Amino acid sequence: MSELPHKYEVSVKIVATALKLSDETKNELKASGMMDDKGKLKLKGVSPKMLKRMKEESVDCPVLKKEVPFIQCFVCPNFQSRISGKVLCKGDSL
């Protein structure tokens, strides 16, 4: 299997306190059906245990040039894959 085409390889960091999702991200998640009206995440194929762990992680986004919660990175159109604590990012502008 060939490697996915990506521009950036970003490390996933564990943070002491979970970063809050921005209102814009929450609205996008609600519109796509990944979050209910009460604000509970409903990601298909992600167990509750994994979702809890994802909430405690962050990445330094090369596109937005700031630290973002991993869940925001996970639902981003630039997200390719997560392998061994690294995220493969396409690097396209948003």
Task: For residue range 10-20, list pLDDT tens digits in order.
Answer: 999 999 988 99
Q: Which domain holds residue 67?
A: 8-89
Q: Is residue 65 part of a domain?
A: yes
Q: Is residue 39 part of a domain?
A: yes
Number of domains in the chain: 1
Could you read off the pLDDT of 21-57 as tens digits, one per residue? 989 889 989 998 999 988 899 888 889 999 999 999 9
Q: Is residue 1 part of a domain?
A: no
CB within 8 Å of 73: residues ≥ 6 apart: 10, 59, 61, 79, 87, 89
Q: Is residue 59 part of a domain?
A: yes
Q: Is residue 19 part of a domain?
A: yes
Scan for tokens 């564990």, then name that residue: 14
pLDDT at 1 over 60: no
Closest CA to 10 of 60, 75, 57: 60
Q: Are 70 and 59 in contact (CB under 8 A)?
A: yes
pTM (predicted TM-score): 0.87
Q: Is residue 94 part of a domain?
A: no
Tell me, rounded to whole angstroms, the distance of Cα 21 from its chain centroid.
Answer: 10
pLDDT the model gives residue 2: 57
